[in-house]
A and B are shown apart, each in its own frame.
Chain A
């Protein structure tokens, strides 16, 4: 699937909830629970993306021209967002990742969690993912 196809699938899933914010958050939290947790040994300070409150860890590697991301958070809602974003961006080329606009977050009504005023590390995580992709692209 392309990044866009993945985003469209997520938008379809969340559309089923309509205005039901409870259902939406339950689903998001469930997605976070299903997302594989990061190995504790990888949760080093270098991989910690510091928000004011919840912590987000990010690891990446480059395999066969694709960037693979692993991410985790100690809070359930950010973990759900991490699962969505890392799920969408992981396994793609640096160019695809750098071009991704991630508009799906807005379309599923969770834009506030990626706004720069949110002190939860998610904005910085997305930035870091793109920087990692750029670094892999330049190394190539």
Chain B
């Protein structure tokens, strides 16, 4: 039971990180109608910058503080140089161009930082464990990720529903021409949203650093999971991104932890381990297919 609680928390932690990625991606998708495969590259850039600064200064927090604006600037530069020319194009062109950007970012990262993985230690004051219920210690850093993610989710909700910027974002999403005609500086708005998305990706990347390895290609793995989240949640919907992310995080983590055990009730241990492992790695895709059969536009159809 305690182990189960731990796995649920692990699932939440993965879900929260996916949400940080999915929120940025779905904002860019919903508002600018731009498919940005290079979103995963921003996640990677954030992690690498933080690992470098932390390695040099010995402080995780300093790494985080530097990585966020640096990644936002990288994102804004990419938007300014390349993506700006693609808003009017169809999705195919966007996929192709941002695929090119991924190749560039991955290769550039391995040129700058080398092919080997970097290590990023979490802050010392979060290195211990917290007893959530008596007798069930849980790593404080992972717990912190969950808390940060939920705070960001609440902040994004307030930003989008309660502030002037959020109003402009919603206006831009539902009718770009009209918002522009009413005097909203769409170009500036786009750049801001893109920078915000980049910063969220960097936050996810930095927090992933101490848990997973900081290496070239880390962005693509999470990018594809993020796509699954967005497809499940519905394109353009932040609420959908949150629900989808938590769902994917939980299904993936619990599937890996328990599918083999459950299958052992029905099959021989060897078969159960083999089938369980492959089913577990496919579980979220099966979930996605199931959701789509039921609701082809995702759980919370936005303005895709």
A and B co-occur in one complex: no
Using a CB–CB distance below 8 Å, which chain A residues touch chain B? none
Using a CB–CB distance below 8 Å, which chain B residues touch chain A? none
